[in-house]
Amino acid sequence: MTRIYGYMAQFDRPESLLQAARALRNLGYTRLEAHTPYPVEGLAEVLGIPPSRIPRVMFAGGLLAALGTLAIQYYSAVFNYPINVGGRPDASWPAFIPAALEMALLGASLCGVVAMLRGSGLPRLHHPVFDIEGFDRATRDAHFLVVLSDDPRCDEDSIVTELRALNPLRVGRVPA
């Protein structure tokens, strides 16, 4: 018998998907995943997705970039090769700020993007959910709720009936 990624139920509207998700959570399911054409408010909380660490990562990245740039400038202009430029001091702090600022913004953004991709498991070109029949509509008007098979509460026989109880459009199993 083939390994199972999970069991999906398709809904027509985000509201009904939201209700279904809530119901499953009440039933004690923890490993849920939803696929919707556009973000649905509150869904993340219902599914118990931990809040993102992206902001912290970006702050760290920005700070690091800024300090790094300042360090390079200070080292090169004061220690490594101090040169008299227009009679200005070697450590011309005000002149060092702009580059540092720009690099801070760049660093933050880069870290943010990386964090976002890592946090949302991208890039990943091949994924079981793509095998779901009609999944291509997930980016248009279809709303899918998936109970992952590794959910401790998940049980081969009962899950399908429990999903049916949420009166979705369809119910199906998703091979891994």
Partner 1 sequence: MSQIFSRRSGTWVKLTLLGALGFGAGLVAIGRLLTDEPHDQDEAVEQPVPFSHKHHVGDIGLDCRYCHSGVETRAVAELPPVSTCMTCHSQLFTDQAMFAPLVRSWQTGTALHWQRVHALPQFVYFDHSIHIAKGVGCVTCHGRMDQMPLTYRKASLSMAWCLDCHRSPEKNLRPRDQVYSMTWKPEGDDDALGHELLIQYGIDKRRLSDCSVCHR
Partner 2 sequence: MRELAGDTSADRREFLKLLGASFALAGASGCSGPPAQEIVPWIRRPPGVAGSDPQFYASTLRCGGDVLGVRVETHEGRPTKIEGNPLHPASLGATNPMAQAAVLDLWDPGRSQGILRKGAAASWDDFLAEVNGIPADAGGLHVLSGRVDSPTLAAQRQRLLGRYPGSHWYEYESIDNTNSLEGARLAFGAPLGVRYRMDRADVIVSLEADFLGSMPGHVRYARDFAASRQPEAAGRVERRLYVLEATPSLTGVKADHRWAMASSDIGRFAQRLANNETPLIRELQAKRGRSLILVGPTQPPFVHALAHVLNERLGNAGQTVEYFEWPEGGSESLQTLVTNIEAGQVKTLLILDGNPVYTAPADLRFGERLGKVPVTIHLGLYRDETARVSTWHLPAAHALETWSDVRGYDGSASIVQPVIAPLYGGHSAHEVIAALLGPDEPNGLDLLERTWPNLSDQALRRGFIEGSAPAAREVRVNLSSIAVPEKAEGLELLFRPDATVWDGRHATNAWLQELPKPITQLTWGNAVIVSPDLAAQHKLRNGDHVHIMSGSNQIEAPIWIVPGQARSSVTVTLGYGRSVEGTQAMGQGFNANRLRMSTERWVTRSVRLTPTGNHSELASTQQHHVMEDVRTPQKLHRSFYAEHPKGEYRWGMAIDLNSCIGCNACTIACQAENNIPVVGADQVLHGREMHWLRVDQYWEGTRVRHQPVACQHCDHAPCELVCPVGATVHDSEGLNLQVYNRCIGTRFCSNNCPYKVRRFNFLQYSDLKTESLEAQRNPEVTVRNRGVMEKCTYCIQRIEKAHITADREGRRIQDGEVVTACQEVCPTRAIVFGDTSDPDSTVSRAKKSERNYALLEDLNTRPQTTYLKEVPNPNPLMKDDV
Partner 3 sequence: MSAADIVGSLALERRMGRGWAIAFAVAVALTVLLGVGIIVLLDRGVGIWGIDVPVAWAFAIADYVWWIAMGMAGTFISAALYLTRQGWRTALNRYAEAMTVFAVSVSGLFPILHLGRPWFFYWLAPYPNRMALWPQWRSSLLWDFFAISAYLLVSILYFYLGLLPDLAALRDRATTRGTQLFYGLLALGWRAEARQWDRFQTLSAMLAGLAVPLVFSVHSMVALDFSEGLLPGWHSTIFPPFFVAGALFSGFAMALVLAIALRSYFGLGSVITGRHLDNLAKVLLATGLFVAYSYVCEVFFAFYSSDQHEIRLTLNRFQGSYAWTYWVTAFCNVGSIQLLWFPRMRANVVVLLTVSILVVFGMWMERFMLIVTSLYRDFLPSSWGMFYPTRWDFVFLFGSIGLFFALFLLFLRYLPMVSMFELRKSSHSEHRRP
Q: How many CA atoms lie within 13 A of 75 on its CB side?
A: 6
Q: Which of 52, 53, 69 minimizes the C-alpha distance to 107?
A: 69
- What token pair was written down for 63? 């700070």
Among 8, 9, 20, 47, binds partner 3 (CB under 8 A): 47
Ramachandran region of residue 121, left (φ > 0), alpha (ψ -120 to 50) or beta? left
Strand 143-148, strand 170-175: pairing: unpaired
- Which one, 95 or 157, has the nearer CB to partner 3? 95
State yes or no: residue 126 binds partner 1 (CB under 8 A): yes
- What token pair was written down for 144? 């899918």
Binding mask 99-138 for partner 3 (x = CB under 8 A): x-xxx-xx-xxx-xx-xxx-xxxxxxxxx-xx----xxxx
Binding mask 129-148 for partner 1 (x = CB under 8 A): -xxxxxxx------------
Nearest approach, Cβ of residue 84 and partner 2 (Å): 4
DSSP 37: S
Q: Quick one: which segment of 4-12, 50-58, 96-104, 122-130 binds partner 1 (CB under 8 A)? A: 122-130
C-alpha span between 55 and 100 (Å, rounded): 20
Residue 87 interface partner, choices partner 2, partner 1, partner 3, none, CB cut-off 5-8 Å depending on type: partner 2
C-alpha span between 174 and 148 (Å, rounded): 9
Nearest approach, Cβ of residue 78 and partner 2 (Å): 13
Nearest approach, Cβ of residue 49 and partner 1 (Å): 24
State yes or no: residue 85 binds partner 2 (CB under 8 A): yes
DSSP-based three-state secondary structure for 171: strand
Binding site for partner 2 (CB under 8 A): 83-89
Binding site for partner 1 (CB under 8 A): 81, 123-127, 130-136
